[in-house]
Amino acid sequence: MLGLMQQHPLLISSMITFADRHHGGTEIVSATVEGALAKTGAKHRYTYREAHIRAKRLANALIGLGIAPSDRVGTLAWNGYRHFELYFGVSGMGAILHTINPRLFPDQISWIANHAEDKVLFFDLSFVGLVEKLAPHLNCKAYVLMTDEAHMPAQSSLPNLLCYETLLAAASPDYAWPVFDENTASSMCYTSGTTGNPKGALYSHRSTVLHVYGAAMPDALCLSSRDAVMPVVPMFHANAWSLAYACPAVGAKLVLPGMSLDGKSVYELMESEKVTFSAGVPTVWLGLLQHVDGNGLRFSSLNRTVIGGSACPPAIINRFKDQYNVDVLHAWGMTEMSPLGTVGTLKAKHDGLPIEKQRETLYKQGHAIFGVDMKIVDDTGAELPWDGKAFGDLHVQGPWVTSGYYKRDGETVLIDGWFPTGDVATIDPDGYMQITDRSKDVIKSGGEWISSIDIENLAMSHPAVAEAACIAMAHPKWDERPLLVVVKKAGQEISRDEMLAFFGGKIAKWWIPDDVVFVNELPHTATGKLQKLKLREQFKGHVPA
Ligand code: ADP
């Protein structure tokens, strides 16, 4: 027997429609890219009602540009109101929003945009030079600069360069969001978090809406219409951890920080817009705390912040709580998980415990959000106990977890229906997960991936290098930084500085290792595989020259 409830597909357009009808006067405030470039600090403010009208104009403009359902539309943009309109205008009309990480090396960006077959690229004013460099390698039929006529460059090598505001002004606001299958793809985000080429996670309308329901729950991010939310986590990083959707869905005020993410800019925007909730990687909060500490400031409205993307150092959790009475929610997730998997909040049973005991729980990566299930397994795939001690490969499943990557048909990603995360973790009897290591071969610096394999391959292309291994070393600001360990070829010479100089121009600057050390041999397993764990042990506490 089937239920007798109405059939409404879960669609992204429903969130902006809801925000317009039920929280229409609530504001979206953006630090504009134009203002940051001109150093005026200009802000743009409007309401969900106005954003909805502009998202509909955008949908009509996209149709005018020849964008059809399922076409990919790329963005290279910071957190701002036009990017927000693209989130709804593109997905809402049935096309696929492809948010690209502008911090990648240009070759990686063009590879990703071509792999996704982006038809149109929308980009912020700060990326004009970058896009001019990329364009000869792309197949986009139009480039839309997310600004007004006054800020359009007088000259540009870009073919078919259009102005966002002009496009919108010419488009009608009359548009009815189409209703279609909720399993339709809505957006995509590439992750370079593993070896080889970047892989595209392809979200659906259904997965996105369910993820928002999960994210907003009290023991997850606990979002409400009383919040003013500032996602510092970029909108090109896995949907800004759901916030670009969740805020309209709960009617929260949205504060978008644009391109200035230093402690001072973030703090001033938080204070002036009375931000209650924020989100970002540990590196950002270090900068913020430094600014606040150094200037004897207080947070007058901020009461909680979600920190994830890398392990949050206990010292940050303690400083926020003890000095500023701000609760840190330590969260873990992945691009492949939309991205939220676990969030650290306490249960009633923790209330009576001494603070140190409570903190031990809060330092962990948290418990699963309803919608996500997780388990830890050993090398044979057998599930390990939840005793807080046994550690194994962390596997997850749920309706917002990927089942496979875009255009990689035939590749088996899941193991018995579970997604192997590449993280190694423990789970305690109360269900709190703690990451202890990573089995995937990558380094996370300031919340962004560095592929150790790419660096090793490049190092080994140098004629004096016999073997090279790149490992993460702990770093106080960036969490992790790459260290290159090199075995020279017999009779060959190369210095640390020559090795580092060799990387110049071949990879992004921030990918270049912080140090190079030379050894006679690298540790290998019986089968000849590099033993990175051993190497990480060996160089624990290494201080760069
Ligand atoms: P995001 O864009 O959310 O950072 P990525 O897919 O780039 O997602 O990175 C996901 C990976 O980052 C995880 O598999 C894990 O290795 C690491 N990670 C994320 N959050 C945490 C955390 N709180 N603690 C430790 N590692 C984390």
SS (H, E, C) 429-455: CCCCEEEEEECCCEEEECCEEEEHHHH
Coil, helix or strand for 427? Answer: strand
The reply to whether ligand 1 has any atom less than 6 angstroms from the CB of 253 is no
Taking residues 268-275, report their average pLDDT.
98
The reply to whether ligand 1 has any atom less than 6 angstroms from the CB of 311 is yes
> Which atom of ligand 1 lies at the shortest distance from residue 311's CA?
24
CA of 447 to the centre of ligand 1 (A): 8
Q: Residue 102 and residue 111: Cα distance in Å, rounded?
A: 13
> Which atom of ligand 1 lies at the shortest distance from residue 440's CA?
16
Of all residues in the chain, the percent with pLDDT exceeding 70 is: 99
CB contact at 8 A, 145 and 165: no
Q: What pLDDT, on the 0 to 100 scale, is given for residue 197?
A: 84
Domains and CATH numbers, the chain: 13-33+47-207+248-256 (3.40.50.12780), 441-545 (3.30.300.30)
Q: Please state, rounded to an integer, the average pLDDT across all residues of the chain.
A: 96
Answer whether the bond into residue 339 is a cis peptide, omega within 30°.
Answer: yes
Q: What pLDDT, on the 0 to 100 scale, is given for residue 332?
A: 98
Ligand 1, atom 19, lies closest to the CA of 309
CA of 202 to the centre of ligand 1 (A): 18
Q: What is the pLDDT of residues 465-516, one digit of tens each?
A: 999 999 999 998 999 999 999 999 999 999 999 999 999 999 999 999 999 9
Ligand 1, atom 13, lies closest to the CA of 334
The reply to whether ligand 1 has any atom less than 6 angstroms from the CB of 334 is yes
* pTM for the model: 0.94
Residue with tokens 């927000």: 84
Catalytic residues: 191, 336, 444, 449
Ligand 1, atom 25, lies closest to the CA of 311
Taking residues 207-224, report their average pLDDT.
98
Confidence of residue 194 (pLDDT cuts 50, 70, 90): low
Q: What is the pLDDT of residues 147-166, one digit of tens each?
A: 999 999 999 999 999 999 99
- The two beta strands, 27-31 and 448-451, are unpaired
Q: What are residue 153's phi and psi, to 5 degrees? A: -65, 145
The reply to whether ligand 1 has any atom less than 6 angstroms from the CB of 423 is yes
The reply to whether ligand 1 has any atom less than 6 angstroms from the CB of 333 is yes
Q: Residue 23 and residue 415: Cα distance in Å, rounded?
A: 43
Ligand 1, atom 2, lies closest to the CA of 237
Sheet (strand 304-307) strand order: 43-47, 27-31, 253-256, 228-231, 277-280, 304-307, 327-333, 340-343, 367-368
Residues 6+ apart with CB under 8 A from 476: 286
CB contact at 8 A, 411 and 381: no
CA of 334 to the centre of ligand 1 (A): 5
- Enter the tokens of residue 139: 């197949």
- Enter the tokens of residue 74: 């790329």
> Within its chain, how far is the Cα of 422 from the centroid?
17
- Enter the tokens of residue 190: 């590439």
Ligand 1, atom 16, lies closest to the CA of 423
Smallest CA-to-CA distance from 536 within 522, 526, 525 is with 522
- Enter the tokens of residue 420: 């192997």
